[in-house]
Amino acid sequence: MEPKAAPVPGATPVAVRAVDAPGFNVPDLTAHLREAFEHSSGVPVVDDFSVQAELAACVEMPCPTTQQDRLKSSTMSVATTLSKIGTGFIGAVRVQQGLKEIVRINVQGTDAARVVDELGHRAGAALREVLVRPVPTNDTPVADER
């Protein structure tokens, strides 16, 4: 396994939505996705189940709002689907910032958890590349019109 990615300075949290995989252990698959995505991207990540667990654990005021605050401040979201086709699995992950799609990755395999792990690692690495890629500059003057 590759080492954990260094934190991206100034990155806002990314909201990982529950994996759309009817008939599977969705909380477990979402946890696999979240951990893999966070490991390879270097950005803070929050998922639906972490927010629900934080809300459910509140028995006395004031309640902690760590996960809720992350969700509120997130500017990007991750949506994942997993489908079983015969004996194999096909997964797709999409990272969006508002309506703009930043990353789309597809993976296929024979084990659902491994497909979701691979989706998380690849999407996290692709997002990291987008976030840390230097902005191209063109130092040459604009050509005069003739």
* Whether the predicted pLDDT of 1 surpasses 80: no
| Beta-ladder partners of 104 | 94
Question: Which H helix or E strand runs over 83?
Answer: strand 76-85
At residue 143, the pLDDT reads 57
pTM here? 0.84
* Whether the predicted pLDDT of 146 surpasses 70: no
Average pLDDT over residues 28-52: 94
In sign, the C-alpha dihedral spanning 60, 30, 73, 131 is positive
Q: What is the number of helices (H) and of strands (E) in the chain?
A: 4, 5
**How much of the chain exceeds pLDDT 70, in percent?**
91
What domains can be seen in the chain, in order of their start residue?
A: 14-132 (3.30.160.100)
Name the token pair of 54: 């934080």
At residue 126, the pLDDT reads 96
